[in-house]
Structure 1
Amino acid sequence: MDNRPYTVVFQHDLGIGDLIFRLPYIEAVAKQSRNNRVVLIARPTCRALDILRSVEYIEEIIIYDRWRKEDNKGEHRGFSGFLKLLKIVKAKRFERIVIFSDRIRYGLLAFMAGIPIRIGYGGFGWNWPQRFFLNRKPYIKKYDGPCITNYEWATELSIKHGFTDRRLVPRLKIPIELIEKHKDITNGLPDKNIVVAVGASVKHKDWGVENFTQLAIRLLETGYGVIFIGGRSEEGILKNINEKIPDIIRIHLKTLMPESVMDSAAIIKHCDVCLGNDTGIVYVAAATESKTLVLIGNRPIPCHDPDIRYITAESISAITVDRVYNDLVEIIK
């Protein structure tokens, strides 16, 4: 009989990248939980159902639907929504919760659900009352360094509570059926191919259609294949780029809207390098051990994976096509 605690992990943040940053620590918690697995509570926007579909250490994913971009609503929004989520969590009879967040409401949720072991950040600033609802110390300190906070906070919590003794790098396996599904994606393209992810959640992360187009033209003219990928929200961008590429070199260009995040990861795996804005798919690609180059501009760098290369500048618009081209060529060589 496995006497280790039946554990739920709360992943608060919205983004795909946020999920990837915490992935190795979710796995570390699972290794000390019943049957080496955990239940994960996650926002729909981090695409956990897609990304973690084949991950053995995830027993179940509970979608925390507090806010939807399209209508500013959600099943778990407001007090009535909180009670709906509480009912779900309480019925599971979890024995431990690990909260990767400093929000007060998640501590309250764990307390009201009667979960015996409650671990979390302990709250920063006005969120410090979170610790009233937790019962396992130590808490962590607010990070004030050069890297983005999400990975650093998850690292500190996991080390302080003995889930690991070191910083961990996210790693993710692509389902074999998706690798097989996209095995012919580079047919008709040159030997060396670059995938470009054009998505960006906010304007100041976006390198821009003109820059991506000029980069693609230069790559195509020098004998590389280029595959642009994006979601439905990038359909217009993909069409715009495709129309700007001269006919004579367009034969080695593809613009795709893959069915899922992991379909995109499988396509990238069949190519030589992934270039993108600071967006979720580039971090998924890196986690699957694809070579990755990220256009970061003047923002804190995620310090979770030493194999990722970043291009920084005074702003995202200050990054030149020449610089990106040269870095890509160096990576491919």
Structure 2
Amino acid sequence: MQLQLNGMGDLVWHAQYFRCVAEQSRDGQVSVIVAPTTMARELVGHEPWVREVIDFDRRPRKSERRKGRHSGWGGVLRFGAELAPKRFDRMVLFSDHPGRAILACWRAGIRTIIGFGDTWLQRRLLTKSPWISRYRGPAVAGYKDATAFCIAQGFCSAPIVPRISVRPDALERMRERLAPLRRPLHALAIGASEPYKQWGEGNFVELANRLAARGHGVLLLGGPAEGELATAIQARVDPALRGLVATMTDSTVAESVAALSLVQSCIGNDTGAVQFAAGVGTHAFVVLGPRPPLEHDPEHVHMLQAPRLADISAADVEARVLAELGLLD
């Protein structure tokens, strides 16, 4: 089974559908083929329905400044050769552009290849099965397409809200680490994969000040790449409030998921962390600006939209969070 999309949030949206495919597969398990950037081993590698995670290293992030091992047509053929010894019975493709994956399957000797079938060419190259028309509405399409595909193929009978499980060992470590922090505790997801998604240091400083002034705890959450940003934000917080603001940029992805299961809210950029939060049942507030809406979990994903990202103020975000959580004075 292969996922074309390469974000951690993308994997969260698809995980429950992958489980459904596994339930109809040999031994109730599947091999999951994904980009390394999805961090699949951390997010779903512990799930009983995952036989193994296989990296399809075709398109690294620009920040990595390297060529993927499976980039180009030669890399795709090389990937197919790597898959051949595994003797897979079939490939289920969650992809709207499956050409390279189909070529890899043929090189690997996989002849049952199930996919969307959205175009006439896909219908010529894929194994005949129920086709879907890709979602072309106003919302983000990835979850919509996966839902339609799984229902059409009989993997499930209705849409499934994305959920992921927390690794028990990571949860134990995070309970100990977060125990000293004040409650209610809000995680600020300060990372962003693209500059246009970044709400900005100043806005996070103001929001941290506002929440801490109410006596709430604040956790600045990101990966190693956000270490400097987290330090800068904390340094600009009112000195009298700084003791209520902690940083966590040294944790693993699994530990971040665990931490987000222990906070009252996650607020931040459109990044993997807010999807982790919603995936474990925590209220996630996404500063989206003018971008397409997220419709996969209306109960836990709260969108903050405006004509421009800069139009969304910290006061607006604070009011929305407190209202949704019932914390208004």
Instruction: Provide the TM-score with structure 2 as the length reference.
Output: 0.94
Output one character per residue of 1:228-264: Cα deviation in whole Å (capped at 9) or x when no partner.
0111221221111011012211011101113211211
Q: Which of the numbers 311, 326, 329 marks the counterpart of 2:319?
A: 326
- Structure 2's unaligned 5+ residue stretches are none
Gaps of 5+ in 1: 1-8
Q: Which amino acid aligns with 2:306?
A: A
Q: Distance in 1 between matches of 2:224 and 2:208?
A: 21
Q: Which amino acid aligns with 2:286?
A: V
1:75 aligns with one of 66, 69, 73: 69
List aligned pairs for 1:1-333, cutoff 5 A: 9-69=1-61, 70-103=64-97, 104-124=99-119, 128-307=120-299, 308-333=301-326
Looking at structure 1, the residues matched to 135 and 263 of structure 2 have their Cα atoms a distance apart, in angstroms, of: 36
The one-letter code of the counterpart of 1:110 is: C
Question: Distance in 1 between the 2:105 and 2:118 partners?
Answer: 14
Distance in 1 of aligned mates of 2:250 and 2:320: 26
Alignment partners' CA distance in 2, 1:291 and 1:44: 27
2:22 and 2:49 in contact (8 A); partners too: yes
Verify the 8 A CA contact 1:275 1:292 in the aligned structure 2. yes
Is residue 273–residue 331 contact of structure 1 (8 Å, CA) maintained in 2? no
Deviation of the 1:132 alpha carbon = 2.6
Instruction: Quote how far apart the aligned CAs of 1:123 are.
Output: 4.7
For the residues of structure 1 that align with 2:189 and 2:133, how far apart are their CA atoms? 35
Distance in 1 between residues matched to 2:60 and 2:179, nearest whole Å = 38
Kindly indicate whether the alpha-carbon contact (under 8 Å) linking 2:44 and 2:50 is maintained by their aligned counterparts in 1.
Answer: yes
Counterpart contact for 1:198–1:230, Cα < 8 Å: yes
- With 130-139 and 87-96 compared, the bigger mean Cα shift is at 130-139
Shift of 1:189: 2.9
CA contact (8 A) 2:80 2:103 kept: no
SS at match of 1:247: coil
Deviation by residue 1:199-226 (Cα, 9 ceiling, x = unmatched)? 1111221111101100111111111110
CA deviations on 1:245-295 (whole Å, 9 max, x unpaired) are: 122110111011132112111112222111111101111121111221111
Superposition deviation, residue 138 in structure 1: 2.4
1:102 Cα deviation after fit: 2.5
**By how many angstroms is 1:133 displaced?**
2.1
**Distance (Å, rounded) in 1 between the aligned partners of 2:179 and 2:18:** 38
Q: Secondary structure at the match of 1:248?
A: coil
Which range is displaced more, 76-85 or 200-209?
Answer: 76-85
| Percent of residue pairs bearing the same amino acid type | 33
User: Contact 1:108 / 1:133 at 8 angstroms: preserved in 2?
Assistant: no
Other structure's SS at 1:207 match: coil
* Superposed displacement of residue 16, structure 1: 0.6
The one-letter code matched in structure 1 to 2:307 is E
Q: How many residues are paired up?
A: 322
The question of whether the paired residues in 2 share the 8 Å contact of 1:100 and 1:121 is answered with: yes
**1:66-97: CA deviations, max 9, x gaps?**
12231230111123322221112221111111
Q: State the Cα distance separating 1:162 from its structure 2 match.
A: 0.8
State the distance in 2 between where 1:259 and 1:33 align. 34
Q: Is the 8 A contact 1:105 1:130 kept in 2?
A: no
Question: How much has 1:302 moved relative to structure 2?
Answer: 2.1
CA distance in 2 between counterparts of 1:185 and 1:106 reads 42
Q: Indicate the SS of the match to 1:153.
A: helix
